[in-house]
Structure 1
Amino acid sequence: MKSIYIYFLILPFFLTACSPSEPAGLHDPASNTKIALRSFSDTTKLDTFKIVLKGDEPKNMELVFTITPKGGHQIYTKTLKATALLDNYKESIDLAKKKEQLQFMREELSLFFDEENFIEPAVTESEKPDNNTPDKNFFEELKRTGLNGFKYRLGKESKVYIAWSEQDKKVKNYYECCK
Protein backbone atom coordinates (compact mmCIF):
# COMPACT_ATOMS: atom_id res chain seq x y z
CA MET A 1 0.00 0.00 0.00
CA LYS A 2 2.86 2.33 0.85
CA SER A 3 4.40 1.83 -2.58
CA ILE A 4 1.17 2.99 -4.29
CA TYR A 5 1.31 6.31 -2.41
CA ILE A 6 4.93 6.80 -3.39
CA TYR A 7 4.00 6.04 -7.00
CA PHE A 8 1.28 8.72 -6.99
CA LEU A 9 3.66 11.22 -5.42
CA ILE A 10 6.41 10.62 -7.98
CA LEU A 11 4.19 10.35 -11.08
CA PRO A 12 3.48 14.12 -11.46
CA PHE A 13 7.20 14.94 -11.28
CA PHE A 14 7.99 12.29 -13.88
CA LEU A 15 5.28 13.54 -16.28
CA THR A 16 6.42 17.14 -15.91
CA ALA A 17 10.03 16.24 -16.59
CA CYS A 18 9.17 14.21 -19.68
CA SER A 19 6.67 16.58 -21.27
CA PRO A 20 7.86 18.35 -24.43
CA SER A 21 8.32 22.10 -24.32
CA GLU A 22 9.67 24.86 -26.53
CA PRO A 23 13.35 25.76 -26.22
CA ALA A 24 13.88 28.23 -23.39
CA GLY A 25 13.53 31.87 -24.37
CA LEU A 26 12.02 31.32 -27.81
CA HIS A 27 8.46 32.14 -26.79
CA ASP A 28 7.18 33.65 -23.62
CA PRO A 29 3.37 33.67 -23.69
CA ALA A 30 3.15 35.91 -20.64
CA SER A 31 5.02 38.71 -22.36
CA ASN A 32 3.80 38.00 -25.91
CA THR A 33 7.35 37.79 -27.24
CA LYS A 34 8.92 35.52 -29.85
CA ILE A 35 12.60 35.30 -30.70
CA ALA A 36 14.40 33.59 -33.58
CA LEU A 37 18.14 33.31 -34.20
CA ARG A 38 19.13 33.44 -37.88
CA SER A 39 22.03 34.55 -40.01
CA PHE A 40 21.10 37.84 -41.66
CA SER A 41 23.70 40.63 -41.53
CA ASP A 42 26.55 38.11 -41.62
CA THR A 43 26.47 34.58 -43.03
CA THR A 44 28.69 33.25 -40.23
CA LYS A 45 26.90 34.76 -37.20
CA LEU A 46 23.35 34.64 -35.90
CA ASP A 47 21.23 37.75 -35.55
CA THR A 48 18.40 37.98 -33.02
CA PHE A 49 14.97 38.48 -34.57
CA LYS A 50 12.45 39.58 -31.96
CA ILE A 51 8.73 40.35 -32.20
CA VAL A 52 6.73 41.72 -29.28
CA LEU A 53 2.96 42.18 -29.11
CA LYS A 54 2.37 45.27 -26.96
CA GLY A 55 -0.89 46.64 -25.60
CA ASP A 56 -4.00 45.11 -24.13
CA GLU A 57 -6.73 46.54 -26.36
CA PRO A 58 -6.85 46.15 -30.16
CA LYS A 59 -7.02 49.93 -30.61
CA ASN A 60 -3.65 50.42 -28.87
CA MET A 61 -1.89 47.15 -29.74
CA GLU A 62 1.18 46.97 -31.93
CA LEU A 63 3.72 44.43 -33.08
CA VAL A 64 7.28 45.68 -32.61
CA PHE A 65 9.81 43.83 -34.75
CA THR A 66 13.57 44.23 -34.24
CA ILE A 67 16.77 42.67 -35.57
CA THR A 68 20.00 42.80 -33.54
CA PRO A 69 23.31 41.26 -34.64
CA LYS A 70 25.35 39.21 -32.19
CA GLY A 71 27.13 41.57 -29.83
CA GLY A 72 25.83 44.63 -31.65
CA HIS A 73 23.19 47.31 -31.61
CA GLN A 74 19.75 47.08 -33.21
CA ILE A 75 19.92 47.34 -36.99
CA TYR A 76 16.19 47.26 -37.72
CA THR A 77 12.97 48.26 -36.00
CA LYS A 78 9.48 48.20 -37.46
CA THR A 79 6.24 48.88 -35.60
CA LEU A 80 3.06 47.41 -37.05
CA LYS A 81 -0.09 49.01 -35.63
CA ALA A 82 -2.92 46.58 -34.87
CA THR A 83 -5.50 49.03 -36.23
CA ALA A 84 -3.80 49.08 -39.63
CA LEU A 85 -3.57 45.28 -39.78
CA LEU A 86 -7.16 44.80 -38.61
CA ASP A 87 -8.49 47.39 -41.10
CA ASN A 88 -6.68 45.58 -43.90
CA TYR A 89 -8.42 42.27 -43.14
CA LYS A 90 -11.90 43.38 -42.03
CA GLU A 91 -13.35 42.74 -45.52
CA SER A 92 -12.29 39.08 -45.62
CA ILE A 93 -12.24 38.02 -41.94
CA ASP A 94 -14.89 38.60 -39.28
CA LEU A 95 -13.09 40.93 -36.89
CA ALA A 96 -16.11 42.74 -35.50
CA LYS A 97 -15.63 41.58 -31.91
CA LYS A 98 -12.77 42.43 -29.60
CA LYS A 99 -12.15 38.72 -28.90
CA GLU A 100 -11.63 38.01 -32.62
CA GLN A 101 -9.33 41.01 -32.97
CA LEU A 102 -7.20 39.85 -30.04
CA GLN A 103 -7.03 36.33 -31.48
CA PHE A 104 -6.01 37.73 -34.88
CA MET A 105 -3.14 39.71 -33.33
CA ARG A 106 -1.93 36.67 -31.37
CA GLU A 107 -1.95 34.66 -34.62
CA GLU A 108 0.05 37.39 -36.36
CA LEU A 109 2.61 37.13 -33.55
CA SER A 110 2.79 33.34 -33.72
CA LEU A 111 3.14 33.25 -37.54
CA PHE A 112 5.65 36.08 -37.85
CA PHE A 113 8.71 33.81 -37.72
CA ASP A 114 7.34 31.01 -39.88
CA GLU A 115 10.09 29.23 -41.79
CA GLU A 116 8.81 30.55 -45.14
CA ASN A 117 9.55 34.15 -44.05
CA PHE A 118 13.31 33.49 -43.82
CA ILE A 119 14.73 33.62 -47.35
CA GLU A 120 18.10 31.97 -47.87
CA PRO A 121 19.67 33.59 -49.86
CA ALA A 122 17.62 36.77 -50.30
CA VAL A 123 18.27 36.78 -54.04
CA THR A 124 19.50 33.90 -56.19
CA GLU A 125 21.87 34.35 -59.12
CA SER A 126 19.11 33.58 -61.60
CA GLU A 127 16.56 36.08 -60.22
CA LYS A 128 15.92 39.28 -62.12
CA PRO A 129 14.65 42.54 -60.64
CA ASP A 130 11.17 43.66 -61.70
CA ASN A 131 8.80 46.59 -61.12
CA ASN A 132 8.47 45.60 -57.43
CA THR A 133 12.21 46.04 -56.85
CA PRO A 134 12.74 49.51 -55.32
CA ASP A 135 16.56 49.53 -55.70
CA LYS A 136 18.07 47.58 -58.59
CA ASN A 137 21.65 48.21 -57.37
CA PHE A 138 20.83 46.74 -53.95
CA PHE A 139 19.23 43.75 -55.65
CA GLU A 140 22.50 43.15 -57.53
CA GLU A 141 24.50 43.63 -54.30
CA LEU A 142 22.46 40.84 -52.69
CA LYS A 143 23.29 38.53 -55.60
CA ARG A 144 27.00 39.15 -54.97
CA THR A 145 26.98 38.90 -51.16
CA GLY A 146 24.59 35.94 -50.84
CA LEU A 147 23.12 37.40 -47.63
CA ASN A 148 19.76 36.15 -46.41
CA GLY A 149 16.48 38.01 -46.46
CA PHE A 150 13.30 38.16 -44.43
CA LYS A 151 9.73 38.95 -45.43
CA TYR A 152 6.75 40.11 -43.43
CA ARG A 153 3.32 41.33 -44.32
CA LEU A 154 1.86 44.75 -43.81
CA GLY A 155 -1.57 43.62 -44.88
CA LYS A 156 -3.55 41.10 -46.88
CA GLU A 157 -1.85 41.93 -50.16
CA SER A 158 1.28 43.76 -49.07
CA LYS A 159 4.61 42.14 -48.20
CA VAL A 160 7.99 43.71 -47.57
CA TYR A 161 11.25 41.85 -48.21
CA ILE A 162 14.28 43.12 -46.31
CA ALA A 163 18.00 42.31 -46.24
CA TRP A 164 21.25 43.75 -44.93
CA SER A 165 23.19 46.04 -47.26
CA GLU A 166 26.88 45.45 -46.68
CA GLN A 167 27.62 48.56 -48.77
CA ASP A 168 25.27 50.94 -46.90
CA LYS A 169 25.60 49.18 -43.49
CA LYS A 170 21.84 49.11 -42.92
CA VAL A 171 18.73 47.03 -43.54
CA LYS A 172 16.93 47.94 -46.74
CA ASN A 173 13.86 46.81 -48.65
CA TYR A 174 14.77 44.80 -51.71
CA TYR A 175 11.29 43.81 -52.81
CA GLU A 176 7.74 45.05 -52.09
CA CYS A 177 4.78 43.22 -53.39
CA CYS A 178 1.58 41.47 -53.13
CA LYS A 179 0.66 37.99 -51.89
Structure 2
Amino acid sequence: MRNIPLFVVICLLALVACNSNGKKETNTIEFKNVNQRIAKSFSDLKRLDTFKIELTGRKPEEMVLNFTIKNADGKEIYNTQIKGTELLGSTDPNVDLSKEKDQIIFLKTIADDFFSEENFLEPAVMPEDKADNYTPDKALYEELKKSGLNGFKYRLGKENNIYIAWSQKEQKVKIYYNCC
Protein backbone atom coordinates (compact mmCIF):
# COMPACT_ATOMS: atom_id res chain seq x y z
CA MET A 1 0.00 0.00 0.00
CA ARG A 2 2.81 2.40 0.80
CA ASN A 3 4.30 1.93 -2.65
CA ILE A 4 1.22 3.21 -4.50
CA PRO A 5 1.42 6.85 -3.21
CA LEU A 6 5.18 6.84 -3.82
CA PHE A 7 4.59 5.56 -7.36
CA VAL A 8 1.96 8.29 -8.00
CA VAL A 9 4.36 11.01 -6.77
CA ILE A 10 7.15 9.73 -9.03
CA CYS A 11 4.77 9.62 -12.02
CA LEU A 12 3.61 13.19 -11.35
CA LEU A 13 7.21 14.43 -11.09
CA ALA A 14 8.08 12.71 -14.35
CA LEU A 15 5.02 14.23 -16.03
CA VAL A 16 5.87 17.74 -14.82
CA ALA A 17 9.49 17.33 -15.92
CA CYS A 18 8.42 16.20 -19.40
CA ASN A 19 5.98 19.10 -19.80
CA SER A 20 8.48 21.78 -18.79
CA ASN A 21 11.03 20.53 -21.34
CA GLY A 22 8.35 20.46 -24.02
CA LYS A 23 7.56 24.14 -23.47
CA LYS A 24 11.19 25.15 -23.82
CA GLU A 25 11.54 23.29 -27.09
CA THR A 26 8.50 24.93 -28.68
CA ASN A 27 10.16 28.36 -28.31
CA THR A 28 13.29 27.26 -30.17
CA ILE A 29 13.61 26.18 -33.74
CA GLU A 30 15.73 23.38 -35.03
CA PHE A 31 18.57 24.95 -36.97
CA LYS A 32 20.10 23.33 -40.00
CA ASN A 33 22.18 25.20 -42.54
CA VAL A 34 20.51 25.31 -45.93
CA ASN A 35 22.70 23.79 -48.62
CA GLN A 36 21.18 23.22 -52.07
CA ARG A 37 22.50 22.48 -55.55
CA ILE A 38 20.78 22.31 -58.90
CA ALA A 39 22.05 21.82 -62.45
CA LYS A 40 20.64 24.04 -65.21
CA SER A 41 21.85 25.35 -68.56
CA PHE A 42 23.02 28.91 -68.12
CA SER A 43 26.38 29.82 -69.66
CA ASP A 44 25.96 27.22 -72.41
CA LEU A 45 22.67 25.91 -73.78
CA LYS A 46 24.15 22.44 -74.37
CA ARG A 47 25.83 21.91 -70.99
CA LEU A 48 24.66 22.23 -67.39
CA ASP A 49 26.02 24.68 -64.85
CA THR A 50 25.81 24.02 -61.11
CA PHE A 51 23.92 26.54 -59.00
CA LYS A 52 24.60 26.33 -55.28
CA ILE A 53 23.32 28.23 -52.27
CA GLU A 54 24.28 27.88 -48.66
CA LEU A 55 22.77 29.72 -45.73
CA THR A 56 25.16 29.79 -42.79
CA GLY A 57 25.06 31.33 -39.33
CA ARG A 58 22.95 30.78 -36.23
CA LYS A 59 21.57 34.27 -35.59
CA PRO A 60 20.08 36.64 -38.17
CA GLU A 61 22.90 39.17 -37.75
CA GLU A 62 25.45 36.40 -38.43
CA MET A 63 23.59 34.69 -41.29
CA VAL A 64 24.97 34.85 -44.82
CA LEU A 65 23.48 33.48 -48.02
CA ASN A 66 26.31 32.33 -50.29
CA PHE A 67 25.30 31.91 -53.93
CA THR A 68 27.66 30.47 -56.53
CA ILE A 69 27.43 29.23 -60.09
CA LYS A 70 30.02 26.89 -61.61
CA ASN A 71 30.13 26.10 -65.30
CA ALA A 72 30.18 22.55 -66.68
CA ASP A 73 33.99 22.50 -66.38
CA GLY A 74 33.78 23.31 -62.66
CA LYS A 75 35.02 26.90 -62.98
CA GLU A 76 33.27 29.39 -60.70
CA ILE A 77 31.59 32.01 -62.86
CA TYR A 78 29.47 33.79 -60.23
CA ASN A 79 29.74 34.31 -56.51
CA THR A 80 27.83 36.63 -54.24
CA GLN A 81 27.31 36.79 -50.50
CA ILE A 82 24.14 38.33 -49.16
CA LYS A 83 23.98 39.21 -45.47
CA GLY A 84 20.90 38.17 -43.55
CA THR A 85 20.55 41.71 -42.22
CA GLU A 86 20.42 42.99 -45.81
CA LEU A 87 17.55 40.64 -46.63
CA LEU A 88 15.70 41.51 -43.43
CA GLY A 89 16.21 45.24 -43.90
CA SER A 90 14.50 45.37 -47.27
CA THR A 91 11.37 43.34 -46.56
CA ASP A 92 7.74 44.32 -46.64
CA PRO A 93 7.15 46.63 -43.64
CA ASN A 94 3.85 44.83 -42.99
CA VAL A 95 5.69 41.58 -42.17
CA ASP A 96 6.34 41.32 -38.43
CA LEU A 97 9.94 40.22 -37.98
CA SER A 98 10.46 41.63 -34.50
CA LYS A 99 11.30 38.23 -33.00
CA GLU A 100 14.57 36.48 -33.77
CA LYS A 101 12.74 33.20 -34.35
CA ASP A 102 10.58 34.80 -37.08
CA GLN A 103 13.67 36.37 -38.67
CA ILE A 104 15.41 32.98 -38.87
CA ILE A 105 12.31 31.33 -40.34
CA PHE A 106 12.03 34.16 -42.89
CA LEU A 107 15.68 33.81 -43.96
CA LYS A 108 15.40 30.03 -44.22
CA THR A 109 12.27 30.42 -46.36
CA ILE A 110 14.13 32.74 -48.75
CA ALA A 111 16.94 30.18 -48.99
CA ASP A 112 14.55 27.25 -49.43
CA ASP A 113 12.70 29.04 -52.26
CA PHE A 114 15.84 30.38 -53.97
CA PHE A 115 15.86 27.74 -56.70
CA SER A 116 12.14 27.69 -57.46
CA GLU A 117 11.42 27.09 -61.15
CA GLU A 118 10.08 30.61 -61.68
CA ASN A 119 13.57 32.02 -60.97
CA PHE A 120 15.10 30.21 -63.95
CA LEU A 121 14.32 32.28 -67.04
CA GLU A 122 14.44 30.43 -70.36
CA PRO A 123 15.50 32.43 -72.30
CA ALA A 124 16.73 35.39 -70.27
CA VAL A 125 15.31 37.88 -72.76
CA MET A 126 12.57 37.21 -75.29
CA PRO A 127 13.23 38.46 -78.85
CA GLU A 128 10.31 40.90 -78.67
CA ASP A 129 11.33 42.36 -75.25
CA LYS A 130 12.48 45.98 -75.12
CA ALA A 131 15.06 47.39 -72.72
CA ASP A 132 13.74 49.96 -70.24
CA ASN A 133 14.99 52.09 -67.34
CA TYR A 134 15.65 48.96 -65.25
CA THR A 135 18.17 47.67 -67.80
CA PRO A 136 21.67 48.65 -66.60
CA ASP A 137 23.49 47.29 -69.68
CA LYS A 138 21.56 47.72 -72.92
CA ALA A 139 24.32 46.05 -75.00
CA LEU A 140 24.13 42.92 -72.83
CA TYR A 141 20.34 42.95 -73.14
CA GLU A 142 20.61 42.95 -76.94
CA GLU A 143 23.32 40.25 -76.80
CA LEU A 144 20.98 38.02 -74.76
CA LYS A 145 18.16 38.50 -77.27
CA LYS A 146 20.44 37.14 -80.00
CA SER A 147 22.15 34.35 -78.03
CA GLY A 148 19.00 32.95 -76.42
CA LEU A 149 20.97 32.14 -73.25
CA ASN A 150 19.04 31.57 -70.06
CA GLY A 151 18.84 33.89 -67.08
CA PHE A 152 18.29 33.63 -63.36
CA LYS A 153 16.65 36.03 -60.95
CA TYR A 154 16.92 36.32 -57.20
CA ARG A 155 15.45 38.63 -54.62
CA LEU A 156 17.26 41.05 -52.37
CA GLY A 157 14.10 42.42 -50.83
CA LYS A 158 10.48 43.35 -51.29
CA GLU A 159 11.06 45.36 -54.45
CA ASN A 160 14.56 44.41 -55.53
CA ASN A 161 15.03 41.54 -57.96
CA ILE A 162 18.41 40.94 -59.59
CA TYR A 163 18.38 39.32 -63.04
CA ILE A 164 21.68 37.77 -64.14
CA ALA A 165 22.89 36.06 -67.30
CA TRP A 166 26.11 34.96 -68.97
CA SER A 167 27.70 37.39 -71.41
CA GLN A 168 29.41 35.39 -74.17
CA LYS A 169 31.14 38.54 -75.33
CA GLU A 170 32.67 39.39 -71.93
CA GLN A 171 32.85 35.78 -70.67
CA LYS A 172 31.29 36.57 -67.30
CA VAL A 173 27.97 36.72 -65.48
CA LYS A 174 26.43 40.16 -65.45
CA ILE A 175 23.27 41.84 -64.20
CA TYR A 176 20.98 42.50 -67.14
CA TYR A 177 17.91 43.70 -65.26
CA ASN A 178 17.34 45.14 -61.78
CA CYS A 179 13.78 45.80 -60.80
CA CYS A 180 10.85 45.34 -58.50
Pairwise TM-score range, normalised by the shorter structure:
0.7 to 0.9
Identify the residue that residue 65 of structure 1 maps to in structure 2.
Answer: 67
Paired-residue identity, % = 51
Once the 2 structures are TM-superposed, how far is the Cα of residue 33 of structure 1 from its aligned partner? 0.3
CA distance in 2, matches of 1:110, 1:149: 19
What SS class does the counterpart of residue 149 from structure 2 fall into? coil
Higher Cα Rg, which structure: 2
**Which residue of structure 2 lines up, in the alignment, with residue 175 of structure 1?**
177
Contact 2:34 2:112 in 1 (8 A): no
Q: From 120, 140, 145, give the equivalent of 2:142.
A: 140
Tell me the CA shift for residue 90 of structure 1: 6.1
How far has the Cα of 1:71 moved from its partner? 1.9
CA distance in 2, matches of 1:88, 1:129: 26
C-alpha deviations, 1:122-179, integer Å up to 9, x for none?
Answer: 011100101111111111100111000000011100001000000000000110101x
When the two chains are superposed, the root-mean-square deviation of aligned CA atoms in Å is 1.2
Aligned residues: 150
Answering whether residue 40 of structure 2 is matched by residue 38 of structure 1, we say yes
Please, which of 108, 111, 120 is the counterpart of residue 110 of structure 2?
A: 108
- TM-score normalised to the size of structure 1? 0.81
For residue 85 of structure 2, what is the amino acid of its counterpart? T
Tell me what 2:154 maps to: 152
- Residues 1:81 and 2:83 aligned together: yes
State the shift of 1:73 in Å: 1.2
Q: Which amino acid aligns with 2:89?
A: D
Given that 2:92 and 2:158 are in contact with CA atoms closer than 8 Å, whether structure 1 keeps it comes out as no
Match of 1:163 in 2: 165
Work out the CA distance in 1 between the residues paired with 2:97 and 2:109: 13
- Dislocated runs of 4+, deviation >6 Å: none
Say which SS state the counterpart of residue 85 (structure 1) adopts. helix
- What secondary structure is seen at the aligned counterpart in 1 of 2:152? strand
Can you give the 5+ residue segments of structure 2 that lack an aligned partner in the other structure? 1-30
Partner of residue 99 from structure 1, selected from 101, 110, 115: 101
Cα distance in 2 for residues equivalent to 1:87 and 1:162: 22
Q: Distance in 1 between matches of 2:34 and 2:139?
A: 38
Give the letter aligned to residue 105 of structure 1.
Answer: L
Question: In the aligned structure 2, how far is the partner of 1:88 from the partner of 1:135?
Answer: 24
Q: Secondary structure at the match of 1:109?
A: helix
Q: Which structure 1 segments of 5+ residues have no match?
A: 1-28
Distance in 2, matches of 1:164 and 1:98, equals 37
